[in-house]
Chains A and B, each alone.
Chain A
Amino acid sequence: MSFLPSLESPQTIDVSLGPQHPSTHGVFRMNVTLDGETVTRLQPVFGYLHRNHEKIAEGNSWLAAMPYTDRLDYICPLTNNWAYALAVEKLAGIEVAERAEFIRVITAELTRLQNHVAFLGFVLGDMGAWGTALMYAFREREKILDLFESLTGARMMCNYMRFGGCRCDLPPGWLDTTRKLVDGFPKFLDEMEALLTGNEILLARLQGVAPMTADRAINGGMSGPVLRAAGVDYDIRKVDNYGIYNRFKFRVPRGTVGDCYDRFMIRVLEARESVGILKQAIAVIPEGPVVNPKAKQRGFRPPAGEAYGRIEGPKGELGFYLIADGSDKPYRFRIRPPSLINLTLLEELCVGTKIADVMVILGSIDIVLGEVDR
């Protein structure tokens, strides 16, 4: 943090928040102009974690881009895998094995659970409750990470999905463990809600802070929970019906005013819906191969063409825009990062609020820097 008298007016000061700041979720930076405590201008500065995903992917084979997608939004590796696999499957017209579709839904919903749980911990940390809520959240997250580890071999960097399916079948007993975890999960959410949602300080910090209208949210490209918190009924799982989501019953929670409280609660409600999807999927998962035997992984050469594939990631619409020129490398590999685009309206939301609210607003959008800067 640095404090400088602003050049524009002697009344205001410029504050540089980040890139080393405990609440910017990594190396995000904001140049804020303050009039007293009120924000009059806010300029986000990106690029401190620009790791050149797109350039590296364009220099390597199609399959070699898969482990890199893990490191995009490093809290949710499996949904990133799915988005890329989905785009490639569209590009090359590959069918996905039936069992793999179920495994994808199960892993993606587990990912959504642990992302939303971690979100609760982080946003509470941003509000000043550093530690306690995060400890509870990470306790639960660790259980899901254990499932990922026994399935894929890694806690965070799973590299699990393949074109036309998944890398390996579920280990024995995995479904039972998952069922136990899923059954116990609502209890944890109840506990978290009892701890948080009635809390007066939390309500004061969240309710009415930075509301967003539906029209602004759509024009600003918001997606995922942030869009739905503004009252828009748009869930790509329902709209695109990708994978096998049309076989499951679930509701799409929506907010009313799109303030920080709506953005906060929508995660809790979505986590509850995810629990429902998981229960349905675990009950009916069929036996069978986990990867389409016709799909080639190594030396994969899709026909020339292009495709844009997208999924409903935990943070929003995660899309991959791929151009193939018939060779073994992508000609263009573009990631549509929900975290970056959800920040488009950050300045609009923050101007007029107090400096202490900026962190809460940023936290309520839920960004991960690996995806913002790529």
Chain B
Amino acid sequence: MLDEDLRSDLQKRGIFVASFEDLYNWGRKSSLWPLQFGLACCAIEMIATAAARFDMARFGAEVFRPSPRQADLMIIAGTVTKKMAPLVVRLYNQMAEPKYVIAMGACAISGGPFKEGYNVLKGIDRYIPVDVAIPGCPPRPEALLEGLIKLQKKIEGQRLFGPNRARHADTRDAADYPVPSYGAHDLEPPMNPAVFKPEPSRREAE
């Protein structure tokens, strides 16, 4: 790696030095294209974030694409019901790598206020990996922007090579995520154990 002092020294002379990885990540993080995909209440706040007052374009993420093939960020804005969950997984599978998921709002994280519901999925992380979770019901537009910045930080730190390389750079993990099917009482399977690994409860550990 380049010495930091040398780098800033060169910068003062107008020479910018960066690793290919940094350049690549900088490009990706500054032009995230979200999928135009609203589920519930949070979608309205997502639109408000994209509208004039909060202006998501300042962070390079204003190009909402209606097709999953052209999008690289899925903002799960709202309650995922069991009827909708297979379609969300299918849409995620249709997105091209590298792809990221923001779970926006309490419902997408855990079922939120509707957790008691028989048709409500208790968190989309049961089926697909979530990169950033934004709490709130619904989160304010500022919170969505903060979540976006968090995701950009995460992209910045991703490695393309080596043992800790990012998921999209890892050819061993290229398979589609299994899409659950509608069962007689519940979705089958009710979760994907390869994805859903809840942390042990902190209270339980005490």
Contact = CB atoms under 8 A, between A and B. Distances in A.
Given a CB threshold of 8 Å, the question of whether A touches B is answered with yes
Interface of B is mostly: loop
A50 B41 contact: no
Given A19-B84, A20-B87, A135-B51, A156 B45 contact: yes
A370 B40 contact: yes
A47 B38 CA distance: 15
Interface stretch (B116-124, B145-153, B157-165, B183-191): B116-124
Contacts, number: 92
Interface of A is mostly: loop
Contacts of B79: 49, 51
A364 B44 CA distance: 18
Interface string B51-68: 111000000000000101
Contacts of A74: 40-41, 44
Given A51-B120, A74-B44, A142 B53 contact: yes
A142 B48 contact: yes
Given A56-B114, A68-B113, A156-B138, A50 B119 contact: yes
A142 B41 CA distance: 16
A51 B79 CA distance: 8
The range of chain B's interface size is 20 to 34
Contacts of A71: 40-41, 113
A323 B185 CA distance: 28
A256 to B, nearest CB: 32
B143 to A, nearest CB: 11
Interface residues of A, number: 33
A304 to B, nearest CB: 25
Nearest to B88: A20
Contact of B41 (A22, A59, A370, A373): A370
A59 B44 CA distance: 28
B83 A48 contact: yes
A157 B41 contact: yes
Interface string A272-313: 000000000000000000000000000000000000000000
Contacts of B51: 134-135, 138-139, 142
A52 B37 CA distance: 22
Given A67-B113, A134-B51, A139-B53, A26 B119 contact: no
A27 interface: yes
A373 B81 CA distance: 11
A135 B48 CA distance: 9
A297 B7 CA distance: 65
Interface string B61-102: 000001010000000001101011001000100000000000
A156 B40 CA distance: 12
Given A138-B52, A142-B53, A156-B45, A49 B39 contact: yes
B117 A52 contact: yes
A81 to B, nearest CB: 15
A251 interface: no
A49 B91 CA distance: 17
A365 interface: no
A55 interface: yes
A317 to B, nearest CB: 22
A49 B82 CA distance: 9
Contacts of B83: 47-48, 50
Q: Which of B41, B44, B120 has the largest number of chain A CB atoms within 10 A?
A: B41
Given A138-B51, A156-B41, 4 more contacts: A26-B38, A51-B114, A135-B51, A373-B81
19 contacts: A22-B36, A26-B39, A26-B43, A27-B39, A47-B81, A49-B39, A49-B40, A49-B78, A52-B116, A52-B119, A55-B117, A67-B113, A71-B113, A138-B51, A139-B51, A139-B53, A156-B41, A156-B44, A370-B40
